[in-house]
Structure 1
Amino acid sequence: MQNKYLAMTPPMGWNSWNTFTWNINEDLVCGAADALCASGLKDKGYEYVVIDDCWSLKQRDENGRLVPDPEKFPHGMKAVADYVHSKGLKFGMYSCCGTHTCAGYPGSFEHEFVDAETFASWGVDYLKYDNCYKPKHMDGEVLYKRMSLALRNCGRDIVLSACNWGNEDVHSWIRSSGAQLFRSTGDIQDNWESVKNLFLSQLDKTAFSGPYCHNDIDMLIVGMHGSSNNEFIGNIGSCSDLEYRSHFALWAVMGSPLMIGCDVRNMTDVTLETLGNEDLIRINQDIECRAPYCIRQWNNPENVMALVKPLSDGSLAICFVNFGDKKSEMSLQFWDMGISYAENIGLSFYNCYTKQDEGKFAERYVAQVEPHDTMVFIAKPVKLK
């Protein structure tokens, strides 16, 4: 590998799975690349276009190599990669550490080096590497080390996204495996309860994420509105636009990769505004990639809390969230953040949603947070007098 900055900050892009699952083809992928450019999201930092499962034939060729499905990808994967690259974007694909992928296509078990060479020859820049059909006698740690080593010796810089769903205490060994990001949860669903549960499951694991190895809380559902063709992900109910905005804010502040899962060819203005919030992207992409700490509201600790994330310029990203079903107060005491009023230090607050400065505050900041809503600020220590 030549690029010492590969995935230093959380990767951003689009993945086909959440909306389209098995129903993929080269027109969809090229159309997604076009949409990232036309919408301005490419310029905001979304650079990967990733094909998920179901892209290959069910059998390898006579040389043991993976074969793209000619009906879905009649011009082959290199042509698709070349098109994505021509747009100034990067191209991603999918495989699995087991004998088969989750949908039953050939996995990379004991084909790691040949598959890495194949991906490199096609121009792949990113590999989502799933955890299905793993032989029972094999530790996942060993299998992810295998593919990491294969990718590091394939002659091309390829990001390894280790998708083992948080199994086998992945957070304790994944950085040493060489992967650049690791799925720490099960699959997300297009509803608020799923967003809440996945987020809360990672609050005690924030310390394991950092530059070059990012905790992936799963792909975004922002803007899907029940459009998935997969019943598990959700094709009936969905989140409100406010809940999608909260979902995006939480993933951004937690430092999760931001991989869009909706149909980027058909986004609403509200969806585009949420995904393109430059302040939240700046927080997510801060070069130090520090994890936030959590301060819970004393009289409603299960539902209302603040995430506080130190940023590289000395400011703090602060996210209030209310998981409850009623409006609730969040009273953030600056003492809990290491700020002593005795030194005449307060915080200036900038609102990342309204794009307005809210002024200077001493000792505390108090807000009423609507149900399922978030408030996100960038706060800077200031002299009060």
Structure 2
Amino acid sequence: MLAQTPPMGFNTWNTFGPNINEQMMLEITDVMVERGYRDAGYKYVVIDDCWSMRERNENGELVADPEKFPHGMKFIADYVHSKGLKFGMYSCAGIRTCAGFPSSFDHEYQDARTFASWGVDFLKYDFCYFPSFANCQHRYLQMAMALRASGRDILFSACNWGVQEPWNWMRSIGAHMYRSTGDIVDTFASTADIAKSQIGKFNANAAGCFNDMDMLTIGMNGQGNVGRADCNNYVEYEMQFAYWCFCGAPLMIGADLRSMDDQYRELLQNPRLIALNQDAECRPPYLVRQDNGWTAMVRHLAGNEFAIGVFNFCGDARMAEITFAELGVPAASGVRLSLCDIITGEELGEKKDDLFVYVAGHSCKLFRAKFVREKGRRRG
């Protein structure tokens, strides 16, 4: 099965936009290996929009821009594969891509065969210039079918921005991940808007098809295509990554890996957060409470454990109180909880009463919880 757990990788759009080329992609691929991203779980190297010529060739085929990619796309795919990684590309369900290049509308099967012949493993499929006369769900179904008929396993990353509530149908039509929001930019307001908009939409998130909350902006520091002057700081980046991991979202890095600061590299490679994201049960989170600017959720994990996440979307600190009863563990249960801080790895000991969690502004706390039966208790 493709996408047994949330896909992880790198995408060019957030930082580079249209300014992409062959040498850059080879360098990014090398860095994925040399600086530990591949071994941490990041597998896909994805070229976004602006890779092709402005028109198709005489056979109606997509053609890579020879100035940007002089050796063609199969050359890059082969290089990516030689490093133990997978190669991804971009197209669009509309009549043009978002940047005005040829899309796959009415060329789905032809383009799927082209991508397969190049060795593509991942297709991001956008929604710009989608004609009013066309059926959105059918067009995404058609590309899903085309990819399956191509003779190659290609992960289908559907990106229709949440139009027609894709969490209700993208899994059924064959997508492996689906965007449910507009584009992210490198600000905390953008992170918070996307994060809060997903509450109540997680139920469709499971093995084989995942809710894509867009590419990460961690480490961009206001630079690049979606960079902004009021960019996230480290604490806000940490909250973004923690939220994406807690919710089981795909993890697609958007910053320039070649110049990534060590603190951001270490955050993106945090083994406990990645383990949470990649948990084998792939269960979505459940909302426990929203109160005074903070949100508390729980998520069942493999091995009869669960995670607790408290996220503070306010600019100042909050004290969150969560009762064991709210977690589904009433006083009569006869169990305590052994807690570990997921971000830091600190063991916090056993708890049996309400949790009081201090959370700084624009920050979060994540805990992994194990059940500990109280001695002498048999009922409850």
- TM-score tier, shorter chain, comes to over 0.9
Partner residue, 2:233: 240
- CA deviation profile, 1:60-118 (whole Å, cap 9, x unmatched): 01111000000000010000000000100000000001111000000000100010000
- CA deviation profile, 1:310-369 (whole Å, cap 9, x unmatched): 002111111111111211101121111211221321111011222111000003221211
- TM-score, structure 1 as length reference: 0.96
CA contact (8 A) 1:225 1:237 kept: no
Partner residue, 1:319: 309
- Between the aligned partners of 2:346 and 2:219, the Cα distance in structure 1 is 25
The counterpart of 1:8, out of the listed 4, 7, 18, is 4
Q: How does 1:183-332 map to 2 (within 5 A)?
A: 183-228=179-224, 230=225, 233-296=226-289, 298=291, 300=292, 303-332=293-322
The counterpart of 1:33, out of the listed 29, 33, 36, is 29
Deviation at 1:32, TM superposition (A): 1.0
CA contact (8 A) 2:167 2:204 kept: yes
Partner residue, 1:90: 86
Partner residue, 1:136: 132
- Between the aligned partners of 1:353 and 1:170, the Cα distance in structure 2 is 31
CA contact (8 A) 1:97 1:130 kept: yes
Residue 115 of structure 1 pairs with residue 127 of structure 2: no
- CA deviation profile, 1:206-254 (whole Å, cap 9, x unmatched): 11211101000101001100111x3xx2342210011000000001111
The counterpart of 1:374, out of the listed 361, 364, 368, is 364
Deviation at 1:138, TM superposition (A): 0.7
CA contact (8 A) 2:6 2:249 kept: yes
Partner residue, 1:101: 97
Q: CA RMSD in A?
A: 1.0
Partner residue, 2:373: 383
CA contact (8 A) 2:185 2:228 kept: no
Secondary structure of 1:116's counterpart equals helix
Residue 360 of structure 1 pairs with residue 350 of structure 2: yes
- Between the aligned partners of 2:297 and 2:266, the Cα distance in structure 1 is 22
Structure 1: 5+ residue stretches without partners = none
- CA deviation profile, 1:166-207 (whole Å, cap 9, x unmatched): 001211111111010000000001000000000111101111
- Between the aligned partners of 2:248 and 2:327, the Cα distance in structure 1 is 19
- Between the aligned partners of 1:255 and 1:157, the Cα distance in structure 2 is 22
CA contact (8 A) 1:362 1:384 kept: no
- Between the aligned partners of 2:295 and 2:159, the Cα distance in structure 1 is 28
CA contact (8 A) 2:55 2:62 kept: yes
- Between the aligned partners of 1:345 and 1:235, the Cα distance in structure 2 is 48
CA contact (8 A) 1:297 1:330 kept: no
- Between the aligned partners of 1:292 and 1:343, the Cα distance in structure 2 is 22
Aligned residue pairs, count: 375
- CA deviation profile, 1:263-311 (whole Å, cap 9, x unmatched): 011111110111001111111111221110122254x1xx112121100
CA contact (8 A) 2:47 2:89 kept: yes
The amino acid of 2:310's aligned partner reads F
- Between the aligned partners of 2:319 and 2:288, the Cα distance in structure 1 is 13
- TM-score, structure 2 as length reference: 0.97
CA contact (8 A) 1:8 1:212 kept: yes
- Between the aligned partners of 2:49 and 2:147, the Cα distance in structure 1 is 19
Q: Which moved more, 1:338-347 or 1:157-166?
A: 338-347
Deviation at 1:22, TM superposition (A): 0.3
The amino acid of 2:287's aligned partner reads C
Percent identity between matched residues is: 49
CA contact (8 A) 1:335 1:363 kept: no
CA contact (8 A) 2:18 2:49 kept: yes
Secondary structure of 1:334's counterpart equals coil
Secondary structure of 2:116's counterpart equals helix
- Between the aligned partners of 1:61 and 1:372, the Cα distance in structure 2 is 50
Secondary structure of 1:14's counterpart equals strand
- Between the aligned partners of 2:13 and 2:290, the Cα distance in structure 1 is 36
- Between the aligned partners of 2:32 and 2:324, the Cα distance in structure 1 is 40
Residue 81 of structure 1 pairs with residue 77 of structure 2: yes
The amino acid of 1:254's aligned partner reads C
Q: Which moved more, 1:352-361 or 1:239-248?
A: 352-361
